[in-house]
A and B are shown apart, each in its own frame.
Chain A
Amino acid sequence: MLEFKNISKQFDKNKALDNISFNIPENAIFGLLGPNGSGKSTLMRILANLITEWDGEIKFKNKKLNSDKSYLNHFGFIIESPCFYEYLSARKNLEILCRLTGTDFRIINELLDLVNLLHRSEDKVSHFSYGMKQRLGIAQALLHDPQVLILDEPNNGLDPFGINQIADILFHLKDKGKTICISTHSLNEVDRLCSDVAIIKNGKLLKSSPMETLHNEKRFYRLETSHLNDAVKFIKEQKSIDIIYKQKNSIIVSQNIKKNDIKFDIVKDKTNSVKSIQRESPLIQFFYA
């Protein structure tokens, strides 16, 4: 549905994006995963026309995006964090955006209800909590009924309750046929929400894949150990297990599912030094790459 091809962007001497290519399928919840400063926001800003000079090509429904900004009618954005005219009420903020895109004001109540803010619609945004602002931001992004929702770290700064609320809204929107792209540095968030993922690090694409494929390739575990060397020695003897990362008291290992000839718990028994074994997201391999 949305195709990025050889996207590059340079700020002075710093290459923020380096030849990035991937596709976002229709009706997916797509995770754009990467550490801070990896280039996720830059990519979103390019799509949102906030960055005007860049190299590469973006296609939406096989149509190349160009200087005609009408494609933006199909997109709703929250870039970095939702922003408002804080001295205005929630309703006035939404009215301003409705006027900008020629959207009927009647949708405002519907969206405020969706994000559970209808009862606070006349309050100034400056009186809202961070979670309420995030939800109002989603309402802002949805005002003109876009097909694609681009959300930059939608759960940033939220408590578990707020995170759950956002997740419920996103699943509801997916059910209504929207395509959603969220950027995040949280593996758990992608694991929980996303059907597809692209991992970016230092402006380069490490991987783009459906989550299901990643889960079916390898399994990843974190081993807490009191005798690191014993555990490492034992694991190295196992052909189906690779060490991804070593820390002071833990090791992250991968196990090839196709060569599933060893029960992983054996490590615990044989070495007698492993305190616990915890399943990890397959995405962890890219963070220690």
Chain B
Amino acid sequence: MLKNILTNEAIKALYKKRTYISFVLLTFLVPLIILAIGDGAEYMESRIYGQLKDSFIVIGSITNGYLSSYLIIAILISQMPFLSTIVASEIVSGEYSKGTFRMYLSRSVSRNKILFSKFIIVQIYTILMMLFFVFYTLIIGCLMLGVGDLAVFHKGLLFLPQEDILWRFFIAFIVSTLVMIATSSLCFMLSTIYKNSVTPIIITISAVFIGSAISFIPIPLFEAINPFLFTGYIDLFLAAFFDPVPWEVIIEATFVCLIWSGIFTISAFYLFNKKEILS
């Protein structure tokens, strides 16, 4: 039965145009940014090296597919919460607003199974979107700009050898996906409360903004609570490119994101089971 309900949810998601917005957006946006990076490589490198050029002789270019992917992820990661809410915001509230729950929930099927199927679809979408974001960027970047060592800033300018890069992108993908799962779980929970899909997006993005502000403002209270908020880890993917990788911070972030995701998901089930379908 669960397989049938999952199939239903997959069909509903696959036939909706909004499911593809993120993928279409990234498909066009990423190559454009890579083109811009390739075109402005000289200028960018002069900014990165700065005064180092006075002391060192630099041969060749550090601009390659890995650097462009790293930069694109750094630029776009703060926008990804928007994209992660596209499906989550509508998957439950859309059925309230269109009235389809009146027909769907008046069958002999448990509400938990229906919500669980929707939750699975939301998380599959989130993971696929992040997978596409990170690895599409990497593939297109490498195809357009080639490969080489990766130059990043960590305690100064750090060069990561070519053979030491791919697994770091994989860790970056895992970390950033965990944050997006927590974000989409929040939006999913809100979707069980509201009858329109805009309100869950607004509240989720507001929460992310407020969380980000807390992580950026250096006052003692915010510094004390920031480690317990999933929003504080949105740019943690950068840690995957530190040397050495701060595993303890990544593990801590994993726990925080999973705990928040759990809280949001359990709340969603509680709220959905209590919900009376009146429209």
Partner-B contacts on A (CB < 8 A): 45, 48-53, 69-73, 75, 77-88, 92, 96-97, 99-102, 140, 144
Contacts and interface: CB of A to CB of B under 8 A. Distances in A.
Contacts, number: 87
Contacts of A72: 106-108
B279 to A, nearest CB: 8
Contacts of B106: 48-50, 72, 75, 77, 79
B8 A99 contact: yes
B217 interface: no
A50 B276 contact: yes
A45 B8 contact: no
14 contacts: A45-B276, A49-B105, A50-B278, A69-B109, A79-B103, A80-B99, A83-B102, A85-B98, A88-B12, A92-B11, A96-B8, A99-B8, A101-B109, A140-B103
Interface of B: 1, 4-5, 7-8, 11-12, 15-16, 98-110, 273-274, 276-279
B99 A85 contact: no
B11 A96 contact: yes
A50 B109 contact: no
A48 B15 contact: no
Contact of A87 (B1, B15, B105, B277): B15
Contacts of B279: 80
B18 to A, nearest CB: 10
Contacts of B277: 45, 50-51
A92 B100 CA distance: 14
B276 A100 contact: no
Given A51-B278, A99-B5, A100-B8, A84 B107 contact: no
A71 to B, nearest CB: 8
B45 to A, nearest CB: 49
Given A102-B1, A102-B4, A80 B12 contact: no
Contacts of A52: 273-274, 276
B103 A70 contact: no
Contacts of B11: 88, 92, 96
Nearest to A71: B108
A53 B102 CA distance: 16
Nearest to A50: B277
B95 to A, nearest CB: 9
A85 B98 CA distance: 8
A79 B108 contact: no
Given A83-B99, A99-B5, A100-B104, A69 B110 contact: yes
Task: Find the residue from A70, A72, A73 having the highest chain B CB count within 10 A.
Answer: A72
Contact of A99 (B7, B103, B110): B7
B4 A100 contact: yes
Given A49-B105, A69-B108, A100-B8, A84 B100 contact: yes
Nearest to A82: B103
A47 B101 CA distance: 15
A85 B279 CA distance: 16
A96 B117 CA distance: 14
A85 B108 contact: no
A85 B12 contact: yes
B108 to A, nearest CB: 4
Nearest to A96: B8
A138 B99 CA distance: 16
Contacts of B101: 50
Nearest to B99: A83
B107 A97 contact: yes
B8 A88 contact: no
Contacts of A85: 12, 15, 98, 100
A77 B277 CA distance: 14
Contact of A53 (B15, B100, B276): B276
A48 B102 contact: yes
Contacts of B103: 77-79, 82-84, 97, 140
